[in-house]
Amino acid sequence: MRFGPGQFLGVCERRRTAHGLALADLRPTVPEHEVHRHTHDDAHFLLLLAGRYLSSARGMPAVCDHPALVLNPPGTTHDDRFRGLDGRFFTLSVPTDNWRAVTTTCPLPDHPVRLGTAALLAAYRLCHELPRWDDASALVVESEYHLLLAEAALDARERRSSGPPWLARARDHLHDTCAVTPRLSELAAAADVHPVHFARAFRARYGRSPGEYLRHCRLERASALLRDLRTPLADIADQCGYVDQSHFSRAFRRAYRLTPAAFRRLVRPA
């Protein structure tokens, strides 16, 4: 089963186009047991707004019940589906020619993948543009689309297979223990390389210094914890390695241009 441009297993409640990009707000219409394996001809970003979603994209849980953004490149074949019909999702569909033009100069993921918080927020801004569409919306769409591409390219760069194994282990260590700040000499010693070589190789491979990557990991972990409204901000700050709640709020706002409380309001299920 092949799906053409902008075709999804859902009813479209609102749709707009700009620069060949199609934005749509949809609700699922096909029961889980009736969803069969299918292929999407065009690339699309899918923003889960509400409901329980089953996706094979890398980085997604078995059943996702909180806001998430998935990139499906052209030719994606899957059986992603909702568990029940009470969900809601937003899509940004990208024509194949548009996608190919980008990939000639900017490598993008070639398999479905869940993107991080910066991309998630860009997708939310696009979603919120639908009900207030005006003559400036095309510029908004173009700007946020390029931000999505930049985040997708960064993800592809971080996960490409080239590079020594110790770099991947160092990255995973920073990700898994982001509440603790290691010394560069400790990371280099664990990799059995000189600190200068470690710092240069890490930046060349991941596009960030080890310290910048640590901050990125803390923010990603914090954004995941924020989706549980029962968790106090002070607890999130402590779990993610911030000095206190104020430190956490300043770092979050500096990175994403909104406070943790505003983030919670934005991603609250519809």
Segments in the chain forming alpha helices (H): 96-103, 117-129, 137-159, 165-176, 184-191, 195-206, 210-226, 233-239, 245-256, 260-267
Q: What is the mean pLDDT of residues 72-88?
A: 95
**Burial track 168-190 (b if 16+ CB lie within 10 A, e otherwise):** eebbebbeeebeeebeeeebbee
Using CA atoms, how far apart are residues 70 and 44, in angstroms rounded to an integer? 8
> Would the pLDDT of 269 be above 70?
no
Domain ranges of the chain: 2-159, 165-267
Cβ–Cβ under 8 Å, residues 83 and 51: yes
22-41 confidence digits (pLDDT tens)? 999 999 999 999 999 999 99
Interatomic CA distance for residues 175 and 208, integer angstroms: 13
The overall longest dimension of the chain from CA atoms, in Å, is 57
pLDDT confidence band for 3 (50 / 70 / 90): very high
Which architecture, in CATH terms, is 2-159? Sandwich (2.60)
Closest C-alpha among 18, 50, 24, 44 to residue 127: 24
Class of domain 165-267 (CATH, top level): mainly alpha
Q: What tens digit of pLDDT does each residue of 151-204 get?
A: 999 888 877 756 789 998 999 999 999 999 999 999 999 999 999 999 999 998
Q: In which residue are the tokens 């074949």 written?
A: 77
Q: Coil, strand, or helix at residue 82?
A: strand
- Which residues are within 8 A (CB) of 14 and not within 5 positions of it... i.e. 6 or more apart? 24, 25, 130, 131
- pTM of the entire predicted model: 0.90
Q: Write out the two tokens for 249.
A: 């709020």
Give the tokens for residue 41: 């001809």
